Each structure stands twice: as C-alpha cells, then as structure tokens.
Structure 1
Amino acid sequence: MKQYNGLAYTGNHSGAIDAQNVWAAAGAEVAWGVGISIQVRFTNDADIHFTTAGADFTI
C-alpha cells in the first residue's frame, strides 16, 4: 500500500501536469488494481472540485 499523507495543496492544478498533481509510486507493485481515496477537511465554507484521477503504468 502506498500512502501520501499530510498534503496541503491549494489552487487549480487541472490545466497541466505539475509538481502538485503528480506522484510517483516508485517501488509499488500493482497486482489486482488501483484504489484512490481521499479525505478532505474544511476550516471554512468552501467548494471542492475534482477534475480527474488516474494512473499510467509502464510494463
């Protein structure tokens, strides 16, 4: 299992690939699939928008 904890990114990163919307899972082995889950906490009233999530694999 690969986890990315403590992320605190803000802003719109849907226009292009950048350092805040790409993570390498080096050393992770995928056998049956990929699951993506998130937890979001708001300190004020806010909207959150998800553009997409996915993965590219090199075989």
Structure 2
Amino acid sequence: MAFAVYLMFFDTPAKGIVNVAVTLAAACLLNAYFAQAVVSIVTVIGLCLPYLSRWLLKL
C-alpha cells in the first residue's frame, strides 16, 4: 500500500499504471455496491408485493 502511495505522489513512470488500477478498483467497488442495492430493493419490493396487493384490493 505504501508503495502505491509513493507512486501516486511522486512523478514516476508507473504513476499512470497505478492511477488506472486505483480507478478500476474504485469502479468495481461502486458497481458491486450499486448492484447489491438494486438487488436488495427488488427483493424487498418482490416480497412486499403480495401483501400490498391484498391491502389495495380491500380498499
């Protein structure tokens, strides 16, 4: 980790490679969290839908 920080702050030939690697890692994490959030929301809605439909039909 310290080596990556060193490459980020000092002008080395590998700085561009580290920037690309850090950007890809951040994008993968963001994509994973977004996908998990979408799946969670769809699951909750799917589980609540039968109860909501029964409640709405009673009105």
Is TM-score (shorter-chain normalized) higher than 0.5?
no
More helix by share: 2
Which fold has the larger relative contact order, with Cα–Cα distance below 8 Å and residues 6 or more apart in sequence? Answer: 1
Give the TM-score, by structure 2 length.
0.23
- Higher Cα radius of gyration: 2
Please give the TM-score of this superposition, normalised by the length of structure 1: 0.23
